[in-house]
Each structure stands twice: as C-alpha cells, then as structure tokens.
Amino acid sequence: MSWIVTGGAGYIGAHVVRALAGAGLDPVIIDDLSSGVASFAPEGVPFVRGSILDRDLVESTLREYRAEGVIHVAGYKYAGVSVQRPLHTYAQNVEGTRVILEAMQAVGVQNIVFSSSAAVFGTPDVPLVVEDTAKRPASPYGESKLIGEWLLRDQAVATADSDAPLRHTSLRYFNVVGSADPTVYDVSPHNLFPIVFEALLDGRTPKIFGDDYATEDGTNVRDYVHVGDIAAAHVAAAQRLAAGEHVEPAYNLGSGDGLSVKQIMDAVARVTGIDFAPEIGPRRPGDPDRIVATGELAARDLDWKMRYSVDEMVRTGWEARRRAS
Ligand SMILES: NC(=O)c1ccc[n+]([C@@H]2O[C@H](COP(=O)([O-])OP(=O)(O)OC[C@H]3O[C@@H](n4cnc5c(N)ncnc54)[C@H](O)[C@@H]3O)[C@@H](O)[C@H]2O)c1
C-alpha cells in the first residue's frame, strides 16, 4: 500500500514525501513539474510525471501502486496571479481536485489529505483565526482552495453509505518557510523568505512594505511555520485516516503567535551575518495588520507543534537557497 503525493516535486510536497518515507509509509509522486523541480524528488521514490488533470493517469497510478490514500498538495499557489488568471487557477485547483476525487472513487481509495490555505479566510477581522472563523477569500486562489475543501466534504457525504466512504481532512497552511532538507527550498518568486534571500544574494537591500501598521513595531505580523513541522502534520493526518480515527474536516496549521516582518529581517541579519537595514517602502494595497491562527485543534489531533525557532527557519531556508546558487 502506498500514499500518492500530488505535487511531490514541489517545495512542500517534497518535504511531505520525505516525512512519509521516514515514517515507513510508501510515498509515490505525481507531478507535472509545472513549478516543481525534478531533483526535489528523492531517489528511490516512484515518480509519475504527468498532470492531475489527466484522469486516466491518476487512476492508473492509484491502481498500480495500490494507494491507501492521497496527499493532494499539487496546486497553483500565487494569489496575486490568480486575479489575472482565474480560469487557470480554477482548472488547476478545482478541476484538479475533482479529477482526483473521481479517480479515487473509481478505484475505491478512501483517504485524502488536502493542502488548503490561510487564503480561505481573506482578511480576517479577529486577532486569532480559528477553524470556524468566517471564510471570505479575497482572490480566485483563496476561492479555489475553499471550493477544494467543499468538494471533499460533499464527496464524503455522497459516499457515506457506499463500500468506500471518503475520509478526508484539509490542512490550512499559513506562511510556510525554511527547509528540512538542504536540497529542497522554496522557489516562489512571491514569498517573503525567497524574496529576501534573492535580494541578499544579488547584493540588493531587502524592502519592507509599510512600517505604520497597527502592530508593535509597525510592520505586518504573519504566522510563519517551518516546512518540517508542516510535513510532520501530514504524516499524522495520514496515519489517523488510515487507522479510521476521528479527524476534523479542516485544521489551521498556525503557530498561535505571529512574527513581524521586522522580526524576520532582524533574524535574517543575525543568521546570515549580513548587516543590513531594510528599505522602507509604501504599504501594499490590501495587506492587513496581522494574520495569526491558533493551531490548537491540530495540536490535539496531529501532534502539531513548533519545533523550529525563527532563527532555525531562517538558517535552514538560507542554507538550502545558498547551496542551490
Ligand atoms: N507555500 C506556502 O506558503 C503555501 C501556503 C498555503 C498553501 N499552500 C499550498 O500548498 C501546496 C504546495 O505549495 P508549494 O509551496 O509546495 O508550491 P510549489 O509550487 O513548490 O509546489 C506545487 C507542486 O505541484 C505541482 N503541480 C502543479 N500543478 C500540477 C498538476 N496539474 N499536475 C501535477 N502536478 C502539479 C508543481 O509542479 C509543484 O511541484 C499548493 O497547493 C499551495 O496552494 C502553500
């Protein structure tokens, strides 16, 4: 029996694959390498190159590797670009999820863990986001992730009385950073850590967008979590699903305690030894003061905890990125 990891050659998926293998579960990757990196897939793990939109390919992979479940990480993750390319985002994230559920039903595969996002909340108006906080996605990306959660829920209802009822959970990530393997790093051109690292590697000064927010030091506060902790939560979720234990429909993988952009910049200077004072630019439209979530439900069910400090987040991410250049 195996666990199929869609998007297993991407930043988070490649970590999930390693964590599954480390726990003695047998991962198999499906990835079309649209944003993934072939070398992120560890040697010895079967790699099926192709799109999750290809129903025959997904179905034959589930059969061939006798899948016990799917960890559905593949997706198009750029919220800003999704505003310009909603149809592309919906095809990848909504149709992709629908195809996987259809193939799972055809083969009788019952377990799925879905990569959802903080983007389902949009701009929350509460200081601490919980699972039930109102969902007001502010982009086609956030909408597509919320629809993904609904697809899982609806398919579970529809199959409840069948021979193979769907069992599911959605893990909502906030800002995923760092590396738990020095050969895998975040290639995103839009996330804070890669942007700061690229600037430093190019000899440019990193920039902070706005320092007059209603936070302690005036810069945005966000929930940063290490990718190694994220990967471990997937293993716990897969194990619970396989054991038939109770899982919630969704878990916020939050730290309960955010970090400001200035705190991150200070950690970057401290860890890299590069003494810089970030440039202060204007605010970016729509950037809320603070988004922080509690991870209490996940701590209860998925052994979720912050195992990495902010300095370790920066150090591991920086080392992996530097090694690649
Ligand atoms: N990185 C974050 O901070 C973050 C936050 C919230 C949610 N997420 C979600 O987590 C998931 C993984 O994010 P990531 O940071 O690893 O991104 P990534 O771009 O590094 O990984 C996505 C992987 O999916 C693959 N993929 C995309 N479309 C595919 C398709 N149609 N068929 C097969 N493979 C396909 C890509 O090639 C890539 O390997 C995404 O679904 C993203 O929306 C990420």
Domains and CATH numbers, the chain: 2-175+224-252 (3.40.50.720), 177-222+255-290+307-324 (3.90.25.10)
Per-residue pLDDT, 189: 85
User: Is 286 a residue whose pLDDT tops 80?
Assistant: no
Residue nearest to atom 2 of ligand 1 (CA): 176
Across 111-132, average pLDDT = 95
36 CA to centre of ligand 1 in angstroms: 8
Residues 128-142 pLDDT 10s: 999 999 999 999 999
pLDDT confidence bin for 125, thresholds 50/70/90 = confident
Atom 40, ligand 1: which residue's CA is nearest? 75
Say what percent of the chain tops pLDDT 70: 100
Pocket test for ligand 1, best of 34, 152, 222 (most atoms within 8 A of CB): 34
pLDDT at 282 over 90: yes
Choose one of 16, 73, 171 to mutate for the ligand 1 pocket test, by most ligand atoms within 8 angstroms of C-beta: 73
Q: How far apart are CA 230 and CA 237, in angstroms?
A: 11
Q: Write the CB contacts of 131 (distance below 8 Å, at least 6 apart in sequence).
A: 248, 250, 251, 252, 297
∠ CA 6-12-15, nearest 5°, is 95
Q: What size, in residues, is the chain?
A: 325
What does the pLDDT average to over 273-291? 90
* Residue-level pLDDT at 39: 97
Q: What does the pLDDT average to over 31-53?
A: 97
The answer to whether the beta carbons of residues 71 and 4 sit under 8 Å apart is: yes
Residue pLDDT, tens place only, 12-24 = 999 999 999 999 9
Residues 167-203 have pLDDT tens digits of: 999 999 999 999 999 999 999 988 899 999 999 999 9
In this structure, what token pair is assigned to residue 287?
Answer: 């950037």
Report the chain's mean pLDDT, rounded to a whole number: 96
- Residue 40 gets the label, from left (phi > 0), alpha (psi -120 to 50) or beta, of alpha
Query: Which residues does the annotation mark as catalytic?
Result: 141
Question: Could you give the CA distance from residue 255 to residue 275 in angstroms, rounded to a whole number?
Answer: 28
What is the per-residue pLDDT for 284? Answer: 83
Q: How confident is the model at residue 305 (pLDDT cuts 50, 70, 90)?
A: very high
Q: Is pLDDT above 80 for 285? A: no
* 230-268: pLDDT as tens digits: 999 999 999 999 999 999 999 999 999 999 999 999 999
CA of 219 to the centre of ligand 1 (A): 27
pLDDT value at position 287? Answer: 83
Q: Are the C-beta atoms of 53 and 99 separated by less than 8 Å?
A: yes
